[in-house]
Amino acid sequence: MVVSLLALALLLQDDLAAVPVTAAPQNSSALLEMVHNSGPTALTVLVLLLVCSIFSWTIMITKWQTFRKAQVQSQRFLRAFRKSTRLGEIATVADQFKPSPLVAVFTEIADEYQRQTGGRGLPRNPQGLERAAQTAASEALSGMESRLTWLATIAAAAPFIGLFGTVMGIIDAFHGLGTAGAATLRAVAPGISEALITTAAGLVVAVPALVGYNQFAARLRDMGGRMDDFARELLNAIENAAAAPPAAPPAAEEQRRRTTTF
């Protein structure tokens, strides 16, 4: 492709020297002129890239809002969990923090603990609680990860879509040279403009999608680590609460104190 462009430059050297020097148009005017001069293939490529760009930005904005809500609600849920001393208290208010994936982990572990012990004592199968936590974390991450693969696909495919427009532009440029029988600007300008604009459009679409995918993937890994840490913290809290001796009723404690004193 580079060799072809160099050949075109050499062929156009005499023609460019004969063109009178005029003031350079504004960037926006030049861009509109290139779009106006584009053929059906280039316009199809540009429309496809526009659709990909709108789709990718919609995903990124939606996911940013989802991750933001999950982070805020997770922080609030952790504060409420660490202040409480009973699982029942957390279970009653857990729905208030529903956007947080930690709620799903807590609910799954609490339900499994309830099935094993009825809400009292040490769990008969601690590995079952761990598996329940892993299942809940995997489901929560899968939900948050949905449609992110589209960002990776757009980031990988957009440059090649733009490159397709570039190739077609070069083909049209050489076809214009053969048809005109001479190396004139009128013959090659439409093809060159198509090649330039589709390549630039492909990069403009691909770069934000790539950055967005990498950022969300990093946040997913961080969220997965937070869910694992919370699951271990919750399991430790359940074991400690189950192993602690039950508190004596106030009346029995008072009677015991009097018996010991007298």
Task: Work out the average pLDDT over 111-117.
Answer: 83
Note the pLDDT of residue 11.
40
Number of domains in the chain: 1
In a domain, 22, yes or no: no
Note the pLDDT of residue 185.
62
In a domain, 104, yes or no: yes
The continuous run of DSSP H or E covering 226 comes out as helix 185-243
Span 55-102, pLDDT tens digits: 999 999 999 999 999 999 999 999 988 888 777 788 888 888 888 999
In a domain, 20, yes or no: no
pTM score, whole prediction: 0.73
Domain that holds residue 110: 34-243
In a domain, 61, yes or no: yes
Percentage of the chain beyond pLDDT 70 is 69
Positive or negative: CA dihedral 69, 74, 80, 83: negative
Q: How far apart are CA 64 and CA 43, in angstroms?
A: 31
